[in-house]
Amino acid sequence: MTRLPVACRSCAANGLETVLSLGRMPLANALLTQDQLGEPEETYPLELAFCPRCTLAQITETVPPEKLFRNYLYFSSFSDTVLCHSAALVERIIRDRRLGASHQVVEIASNDGYLLQFYRRAGIPVLGIEPARNIAQVARGKGIRTLEEFFSRDVAARLRAQGERADVIHANNVLAHVADLNGFVAGLTELLTPGGVAVLEMPYVADMVAGVEFDTIYHEHLCYFSLTALVKLFERHGLTIHHVERLPIHGGSLRVFAGHTEEQATAQPSVMTLLDREQNDGVTRAEFFRDFGARVLALREELVGLLARLKSQGSRIAAYGASAKGSTLLNFFGIGRETLDFVVDRSTAKQGRFTPGTHLPILPPEQLLKAQPGYVLLLTWNFAEEIFEQQAEFRRRGGKFIIPIPKVRVA
């Protein structure tokens, strides 16, 4: 492992250690129009590094957030899994916190209102903070009050000065996207009411490494959190993580519950248990990542070999999911139009465009039944069961899915 002259995004320590290099990559969600196919694509280095001081895994390149998020093509509501997951969480929070019309819920990176809509239906005031202008407009069309902002301590202070506070703050799959981690968490402290709770979800680095989920690494995901790294970050800003849950969604995630430190007596056993496990399993040391790259290369050899054999036998192959993780997999593994005929995706915002780097056309899922390829590479493998259910007829006709992660299998 090499030492980098880059300061840690959390604790500002020098001496990060490189644990995986994926080379130069296009931006994972920079889907192309037909007119852009002939133009040069921007690429950026994609390297994963580890901070020995605070244990945070992170990439070393920061692409300006304005470039990544102001016009965004990921709409959470297109996933039935995400909607069910969100509805269950909202029901639980309303019950446990006894929320009513006198409370307010704020979601940071609120997307198209996929989660806040459930609070609104229960009569609880909501505020979304969403930097993507196109997505914020969709949320407002659903009656979700939405600010077009990148959340920060300054935004939180301005809201507080205007009399806006949050009894509950949600931040799902956004902390990993934030360049200024300390400003973001300080903003949580500023905006949260006394006795309030911040509920955050993020991919879990231990599951990422165990499951060879290298495709979770792309330029939008700046950080890859362990609970140890999160506790240190939150403590720095007067917040205590008092409960943690491990979730299967997105290949393995953490859900943490945090409040003002002066209001928290001690952390619940769930926190101490997972901190101890991370220490015992080596998640807090760079050696935990030592064979990660070798296992990624072995996976590439296996998947590329399978696809080559199928093509040599005359099989037609498509892909499902014009996702960010799919972009990382296709570009790093070198899988493009020589192997895949097209990609399908449920999102109408993506249909008609082309995948970054590999330039595969993105079509509606109905194209699978029209073309009936023999195999479909499932790039959104984290939603496998949902997609299998949606594509029951394709499978009944003999179509098969290739699931690439955590190990290659055909279903």
The answer on 280 and 181 residing in a single domain is yes
The answer on 253 and 156 residing in a single domain is yes
DSSP per residue over 242-260, as a string?
EEEEEE-GGGSEEEEEEEE
The predicted pLDDT at position 73 comes to 64
Residue 265's pLDDT band, with cuts at 50, 70 and 90, is low
Whether residue 69 lies inside any domain: the answer is no
The predicted pLDDT at position 85 comes to 92
The predicted pLDDT at position 250 comes to 86
The answer on 216 and 334 residing in a single domain is no
**Percent of the chain scoring above 90 in pLDDT:** 90
Mean per-residue pLDDT, 143-151:
95
Between CA 78 and CA 380 the distance in angstroms is 13
DSSP per residue over 136-172, as a string?
HHHHHHTT--EE-----HHHHHHHHHTT--EEEEEEE
The predicted pLDDT at position 241 comes to 96
Give the CA dihedral 162, 164, 170, 174, nearest 10 degrees: 0
- The percent helix, strand, coil of the chain (3-state, each to 5) is 40, 25, 40
Whether residue 159 lies inside any domain: the answer is yes
pLDDT at 1 over 70: no
Structural domain range at position 148: 76-289
The CATH number covering residue 194 comes to: 3.40.50.150
Please indicate whether residue 267 or residue 224 has the higher confidence score (pLDDT): 224
pLDDT mean across residues, the chain: 94
Whether residue 105 lies inside any domain: the answer is yes
The answer on 396 and 315 residing in a single domain is yes
Contact indicator for 58, 15 with CB cutoff of 8 Å: no
Between CA 140 and CA 319 the distance in angstroms is 33
Whether residue 57 lies inside any domain: the answer is no
The answer on 80 and 220 residing in a single domain is yes
Contact indicator for 253, 203 with CB cutoff of 8 Å: yes
The answer on 229 and 372 residing in a single domain is no
The answer on 356 and 236 residing in a single domain is no
Question: Shortest CA distance to 205 belongs to which of 64, 313, 51?
Answer: 51
The predicted pLDDT at position 66 comes to 76
pLDDT at 3 over 70: no
Residue 68's pLDDT band, with cuts at 50, 70 and 90, is confident
Least confident of 7-21, 170-184, 210-224, 253-267: 253-267
pLDDT at 5 over 60: no
Q: Which of 231, 261, 289 is the last residue of a domain?
A: 289
Q: Which of 260, 289, 318 is the last residue of a domain?
A: 289
Question: Shortest CA distance to 192 belongs to which of 162, 161, 164, 167?
Answer: 167
| Structural domains of the chain, count | 2
Mean per-residue pLDDT, 142-170:
96
The answer on 116 and 208 residing in a single domain is yes
pLDDT digits (tens, 9 = 90+) for 334-353: 999 999 999 999 999 899 99
pLDDT digits (tens, 9 = 90+) for 122-146: 999 999 999 999 999 999 999 999 9
pLDDT at 21 over 80: yes
Q: Give the tokens for residue 34.
A: 């037909």
Whether residue 14 lies inside any domain: the answer is no
Cis amide prior to 406 (ω within 30 degrees): yes
- Using DSSP bridges, classify how beta strands 239-247 and 105-108 pair: parallel, antiparallel or unpaired: unpaired
Residue 72's pLDDT band, with cuts at 50, 70 and 90, is low
Between CA 200 and CA 175 the distance in angstroms is 8
Whether residue 208 lies inside any domain: the answer is yes
The predicted pLDDT at position 267 comes to 76
Which amino acid belongs to residue 243? H
The CATH number covering residue 338 comes to: 3.40.50.720
Q: Which of 232, 260, 289 is the last residue of a domain?
A: 289
The answer on 169 and 258 residing in a single domain is yes
The answer on 310 and 276 residing in a single domain is no
The predicted pLDDT at position 65 comes to 77
The predicted pLDDT at position 264 comes to 67
The predicted pLDDT at position 78 comes to 73
Whether residue 24 lies inside any domain: the answer is no
pLDDT at 69 over 70: no
Mean per-residue pLDDT, 54-80:
81
The predicted pLDDT at position 295 comes to 95
Whether residue 50 lies inside any domain: the answer is no
The predicted pLDDT at position 77 comes to 72
Mean per-residue pLDDT, 70-85:
77
Between CA 341 and CA 335 the distance in angstroms is 11
Mean per-residue pLDDT, 151-164:
96
The answer on 183 and 107 residing in a single domain is yes
User: Integer distance in angstroms from the first to the last C-alpha of the chain?
Assistant: 37
The predicted pLDDT at position 237 comes to 97
Which amino acid belongs to residue 362? I
The answer on 229 and 81 residing in a single domain is yes
Between CA 201 and CA 204 the distance in angstroms is 9
The predicted pLDDT at position 317 comes to 98
Residue 120's pLDDT band, with cuts at 50, 70 and 90, is very high
Per DSSP, 404 falls in state -
